[in-house]
Each structure stands twice: as structure tokens, then as C-alpha cells.
Structure 1
Amino acid sequence: MNAGHDTAPLPVRLEDFAGPARRALPPEVWDFIAGGSGEELTLAANRAALDRIRLVPRVLSGSGAPDTTAELPGGRAALPVAVAPMAYQRLLHPEGELATARAAAAAGVPFTLSTLSSVPVEEVTALGGVTWFQLYCQRDPGLTAELVRRAEDAGCAAVMVTVDVPSMGRRLRDLRNGFALPAGVAAAHLDPATTRRAAERRSGTCAVAEHTAESFARTLGWDDLARLREQTELPLIVKGILDPGDAATATAVGADAVVVSNHGGRQLDGAVASADMLPAVREAVPPSCRLLLDSGIRGGTDVLKALALGADGVLLGRPVLWGLASDGAEGVSRVLGLLAAELRSALELSGCAAPADAPWLTTLGAGR
């Protein structure tokens, strides 16, 4: 017995970081990062889909200790994992995106910086590491082109354009809270006057949804994606695709990679789980297209399941924010370190020497 000791148990799974994060944050900030849209049916479906998948391990493969490195857009990474784009990280920790980027660089995985970052792209890329810039196309095409040039000039390794947000989903937790950004937190890449006007109208609304509605293009089409492809020589990643036909069109237009994603259950409530669409999307795109899974990843076995279904890697979202809220860069480092340990174990126990071996595995329960 260790009577009198208040030391918290050592986290042994990524979900263990959620409790400390929730205790560290104001309730409305926790709701902002944890919640989904509508009745949160798709948010729950993402986990249910991954939990439903079963792997058939192989034995006597002679693989030994696995190599976890993988080829992702912009270069080779220590894990088949990139940190997902997530907005306004200074809500969770004073260093915000700087802390997360520092931890991602130390772990050897790409960090995706959101257009809605609370830290400018130049400050993030100055830390080193691999940075992907997530782009929300603006109503003014000139501002979109300026953001792309800014990302290139800062040294970003890829541009990830999000295509599933003509407007923000109705996130009921935020609406009930009348959520608005506090003083000192703003979108570093957008006009601050837009954020300020939305905050002044916050009664009965979500100010974040209002100020993005003033900025984001709502009528994007495939021609816009083609023009974006012409504007940059960086690898182009298209995030927010669920339909296999859309994935095929994206690659035909020039996308180098596709992220199968329902925005973590934060856009259309009732949309299909991302993992359920992964096999069909893999069949629809050429082998040269890098395929990433986003939405619901909570551990190394989830990463292995995504790889077995045809993904080249995954985006890790909310668990990174849990680590950031609980202990800044050190917390994010612990999250990524634990994920790496889980993935090494999952690869070895399944008979895979490396992530590229995962499609060898038989899966049951996918795509239902």
C-alpha cells in the first residue's frame, strides 16, 4: 500500500490522458475540443467502426523487432502518423501550436498547422521538423493564394486542403455554451477584425462558426482544386473525402494524397464512419496516391487496422490535445511515445516487420 501518495497512475493508453486534460480546462473549452456536431452520432460511429474491425495475425514470420518508419507526403516519418490540423491550440496551453510542433518534431512525425492556428506558420516552421499547412480556402481567392505562398516561403513540406467545410457543422455543445475565443487567442492567419465582430455577436451563437463563415469559401468546386494544384509545387493533400468517386476525382485533378475523414464527427452528423469507407477509397485511387485515415484513432492497434485496410498512415487528433492540455509539449511527447510503443507491439504481435506489411493481414468487420 502507498497510503498518502497522490501521484496519478501512469498513463498506459491514450484515453488515460483525457481525464487530466478535462480537469485542466474550462468546461466550454473541453466541449469545444471533445464535441461533435448534432447528436454526435458520427463521433460515436468512428470509434464503433474501429472497434468492430478484427485482425487475423500471422505467425512464424521471422520479422523480429519491427521498423515503424513510413513514407508520408514530404518525406519519411518515424511512424505512419501525422498530427492532425486542430485550431486555436493556445486555448489549451500558453505555447499552443509551438508546444505541439516541438513534440511532433522530437517524435519524428509531421505536424499539420491549421489555417485557424493561434500561432503564425513562420514561428512553427522555425522550430524545425516537418510541417504540413492545412488550408481553408478563403472567399477571396487572392487570400487563398497568399496563404499558400506564405506556407511555401515558411518551408512547409505539404499543403493539406480541407474540402468538407463549406460551413461549420452545428456543434450543439458550442451553441449551448455561446462559445467564443477568449482575449489573447485568435486566428493568426485571418483578419483579426472578423474574429472581433463575431465575438461581439456571440449571444445564442458560436462565435467561431460565425467568424469562419465570414472568411471561408462556400462554393468550392473541382475547378478550384485544379487551380490550387497549379499554385504550388508542394505535395497536395486533400482532406475530408468519404466517397470513393470523390477520391478518384481528387487524384485525377492532381492530389498527391487523400485523407479519408468526416472531420472527427464535427461536420455532417449521420455521416458514415471514416474507417468504413477506407477499403473502397483505396480501391478507387491509384497506388501512387498516399492514403491517410482521420477520425477516431485512439491507439497503436487502430493505426495497424488502418494500415491493414490500405492506408499509408493516420492523422492523430484529440489525444494530442489531451496531452497538450495536461502538460504542454511534454504531454504531447508522452502521447506520441505511447502510441509508438503500442504500434511496435501491434506490428510484432501481428507478424508485420514494418507498416508496409500490414495489408498482408486479413481483416474482418470492415466497411459494414
Structure 2
Amino acid sequence: MKSKSAFERQREIYIRGFSGKTSRIPFHASALREKARKKMSPNAWAYVDGGASDEATMTRNRKAFDAIAIIPRMMRDNSAADYSSVLFGTSLSFPLLLAPIGALDMIYPRADLMVSAACHAMGTPFIFSNQAGNSMESCSRIMGNTDKWFQLYWSKSDDLVLSFVKRAENCGCKAIVLTVDTPMLGWRARDLTRGYLPFLHGFGIAQYTSDPVFQEYLQNGWEADTHEDAVKPSFTLHTMWHVLKLGLRYKGRLRQGLKAAKLFTRIYTNPSLNWERIAWLKSQTRLPVIIKGILHPADARKAKESGADGIIVSNHGGRQVDGAIASIEALQEIRKAVPRPYKILLDSGIRNGSDIFKALALGADAVLLGRPYVYGLAIGKQKGVEEVIQNIWNDFELTARLSGCRNLDEIKEAEIYRAAKPE
């Protein structure tokens, strides 16, 4: 199944409604979020929906989009439209990819496979998360010939980094998305309140436990891992319950599960990452390298100078620095710093079709969709993800056509009104 046109889809929805059948996936972003909340465990909801500290950056992401107004143009021949493009060899029927989101297995055990199946059904590219609950190989098999990318966190082991990159190549991924805004976890108040980090419970570490280098470290030790934990959990019934569940998730091997979770927390971040490492990464792969997490024009220029093939303007969905600039606020100046044809994508805050239109008008070549597809997953598993993609696509199509833009080039020239600052 591929995306249906907005006109075809509207007609289908209204005819079903005439028979008393309505969608279980809400069309409003706020209703989608609220229905998903009721489907998730408190721990999963805190992790997926939460942000850094008091979550001001999350709020700013949305207010910044709301401060931008589209100025539609009328009386253009709107009998046909085409918003397809090719980005790093990836075919896009419309300018959207699904963002990498970690620990989806908190929601369902095979969640990453469900999302992969939905992307295959819809012809939508998926960026596999470095912190996935299913391996990139298993997701790739389900994706088939649908384009996929791989998100890379640069761990403390270059050998592990290289192993991930080679596995991504072997899986047919079209690009490496190096995420640089998470050299350490942000101060995530909701998770801290619950005292819950999913990786310690065995969620979101399948890329590691399926990796031969990581397995070698588990068996023979990691040379940099010379210390014991300064803080250890007290022995309680709660501790025993979590340890038993971790063992079950690690195929019944309780001790190995504990070792894997502990090693992951020690190795997966690398605060020493710097621009000089990009040249090494580029020398190790034939895939384009796209840097995710750029918010400053000078960093955009530095990314280009370092050899990165493109960037993703992102504040990590407001999960890293509270009080940071909104991604959409940063986009226009970054586009000036690295003019076309250099490729820029935008992440953080996309909730509907008009958000995509605004991002493209301000200089993005495509966008990443994050939390909304996870909400659809929680409500309806694979079909829920498919319906969210379809809704966003149809909303974007109608927004663009009703604004007088029949292709991506016309959106680049679209006129918008932008308030000085979001209130």
C-alpha cells in the first residue's frame, strides 16, 4: 500500500463516516497525543513524551511553528501536483522520513519491526534508531527495498562505531545520521522523577546485544571498563522483579542481561567527540554522513567544512537543553550559512502538514517526523503508524495546494509571515 491522494482519502473517510465508521487514530495532534497516553505505561509515556528539565524547549518548538503564518496564493492551475524528490539517493514521495526514536520496545516488544512494516507499506523511509529494541538486520528484512538510514551515536569504542557502520552498509542503509547533541543525557525531569532509565531494564539496546564487537566486550571485557559502579541498587523485591524481567528480555540469560545493560550505560556516549572525527568516519564508509543536532549557523558551516554531506537542524525534540532555540527558529539563518544545494533537514516539533510546508519554505529539503508516529504506534501498532503517515501526507498535500504550490520548488518560493518571537 502506498499513500493515497488527499482527495481520494477525504472521500473514503466521509463515505465510511456515512456508514457510521470513524477512524480510531485521531486527526488532531493533541487528541492523538492524549489517546496514546492512555495506551502507554507511565514509564514509557514519561520517556517518549518528556523533555529536558521544565520542558521549555518542547513548548518553544510548538510556539515557534505557530508564530509562522503561510500567505496562500490563489487562482493557479491546481489540477496536478508532485512533491516527490530524491535525497542522498533516497526516494521521497513527499519530503518526510520517520525519525529515530529509541526504546520503542517499551511500548510493544516488536515495536521497531512494526514501524518498519508500516514504512514499507507506505513507501516512507525510516531512520533506524541506534537505541532500537530490534536489530537493524531484522528491521531491514521487513523494510525490503524501501529506503532506510541508520542513526549513529558515537560510543567510547571506535571499533564498535565501525561495526555499526559496516552493519548499516550491509543492511542496505542509504545514509548514516550521526547524532551529535547527545554526548550525555539531558536532565530529563520526568524520567528522573520515576527513577527510570529504559536501557538499564534492557530496553533499546538490541543494536548492541546483536553486535559482534559488543558481544566480544561482554565475554572478554572492555579495556576501558576498569571501574565498578559507585552506586548499586539496594536489594529489594522491586530490584529482584526488575532483574528477573531483564533476564527474560535477554533470552533467559539473567547474568548476561545485567552485564549487557551495565556495559551499555558505560560505553554508549562519548563526551570527547569533536569535528576532527568526521574525516575518519567519512574515510570508513561509502555512505553519506549527515550530522543531526545542529542549531547554530557556525556549526552548520563547520559540518560542511568537515566533510558532512548534510545536516539535520534539531534540538532533539526538546530532550537535551531546556531553554534552547526552537529548530524552526534556527533554520533560516542556517540555510543562509550553508546555501543550496547543501542538504538540510529539520527535526523537532513537526505535528501536521502545515509544519512541513513552513519548514520547506524556510529552507529545509525534508523533515523528520517523531513523536506523532509513536503515538500512532501506541494506539494501533503497525496500522496506527501507517495512518499517522497518511494523515500527515494528506494534510501537507492540501496545505501546499491550497497555498498555490504544486511542487517543492514553488514551496521554496512561498511567502510566509513570521512574528519576531513566539510568545
- SS in structure 1 opposite 2:349? coil
> What amino acid does structure 2 have at the position aligned with 1:358?
I
Contact 1:74 1:157 in 2 (8 A): yes
- The equivalent position to 2:161 in structure 1, one of 120, 139, 144, is 144
Partner residue of 1:173? 190
CA distance in 1 between partners of 2:312 and 2:25 (Å): 33
> What amino acid does structure 1 have at the position aligned with 2:395?
E
Contact 2:81 2:401 in 1 (8 A): yes
**Counterpart check, 1:46 vs 2:61:** yes
Residue ranges of structure 2 left out of the alignment (5+ in a row): 1-19, 209-213, 223-227, 235-257
CA distance in 2 between partners of 1:279 and 1:365 (Å): 11
Q: How does 1:18-33 map to 2 (within 5 A)?
A: 18-33=33-48
Identify if the C-alpha distance between structure 1 residues 183 and 240 changes in structure 2 by more than 3 Å, giving closer, same or farther. Answer: closer
CA distance in 2 between partners of 1:209 and 1:162 (Å): 22
> What amino acid does structure 2 have at the position aligned with 1:115?
N
- The equivalent position to 1:316 in structure 2, one of 369, 377, 380, is 369
CA distance in 1 between partners of 2:408 and 2:141 (Å): 30
Identify if the C-alpha distance between structure 1 residues 75 and 367 changes in structure 2 by more than 3 Å, giving closer, same or farther. Answer: farther
Partner residue of 2:327? 274
Contact 1:310 1:359 in 2 (8 A): yes
Residue ranges of structure 1 left out of the alignment (5+ in a row): none
> What amino acid does structure 2 have at the position aligned with 1:58?
R
Contact 1:159 1:235 in 2 (8 A): yes
> What amino acid does structure 2 have at the position aligned with 1:167?
M
Q: How many residues align?
A: 359
- Cα distance, 1:258 vs. partner? 0.7
CA distance in 2 between partners of 1:367 and 1:286 (Å): 23
Partner residue of 1:250? 303
- Cα distance, 1:10 vs. partner? 5.7
CA distance in 1 between partners of 2:381 and 2:186 (Å): 28
Q: How does 1:39-78 map to 2 (within 5 A)?
A: 39-78=54-93
Contact 2:102 2:204 in 1 (8 A): no
Partner residue of 1:235? 288
Partner residue of 1:188? 206
- SS in structure 2 opposite 1:173? helix
Partner residue of 2:392? 339
Partner residue of 2:133? 118
Cα RMSD after superposing both structures: 2.6
> What amino acid does structure 1 have at the position aligned with 2:45?
W
Contact 1:56 1:363 in 2 (8 A): yes
CA distance in 1 between partners of 2:262 and 2:41 (Å): 19
CA distance in 1 between partners of 2:383 and 2:202 (Å): 23
> What amino acid does structure 2 have at the position aligned with 1:163?
V
**Counterpart check, 1:164 vs 2:181:** yes
Q: How does 1:341-360 map to 2 (within 5 A)?
A: 341-360=394-413
The normalised TM-score by structure 1 is 0.91
- The equivalent position to 1:287 in structure 2, one of 340, 348, 353, is 340
Q: How much identity, in percent, do the aligned residues show?
A: 37
- The equivalent position to 2:152 in structure 1, one of 107, 128, 135, is 135
Contact 2:25 2:380 in 1 (8 A): no
CA distance in 2 between partners of 1:218 and 1:272 (Å): 22
Deviation per residue, 1:50-85 (Å, 9 max, x gap): 010011112222133322322223322111000001
Deviation per residue, 1:196-255 (Å, 9 max, x gap): x99x9468xxx9999545421111111111211111111211100000111111112222
Partner residue of 1:262? 315
Contact 2:25 2:387 in 1 (8 A): no
> What amino acid does structure 2 have at the position aligned with 1:278?
L
Range with bigger deviation, 170-179 or 121-130: 121-130
Identify if the C-alpha distance between structure 1 residues 345 and 212 changes in structure 2 by more than 3 Å, giving closer, same or farther. Answer: farther
- Cα distance, 1:317 vs. partner? 0.2
> What amino acid does structure 1 have at the position aligned with 2:32?
F
CA distance in 1 between partners of 2:262 and 2:328 (Å): 27
Identify if the C-alpha distance between structure 1 residues 188 and 342 changes in structure 2 by more than 3 Å, giving closer, same or farther. Answer: same
Larger radius of gyration: 2
Deviation per residue, 1:284-311 (Å, 9 max, x gap): 1141221111000000000000010010
Partner residue of 1:89? 104
Identify if the C-alpha distance between structure 1 residues 88 and 74 changes in structure 2 by more than 3 Å, giving closer, same or farther. Answer: farther
- SS in structure 1 opposite 2:207? coil
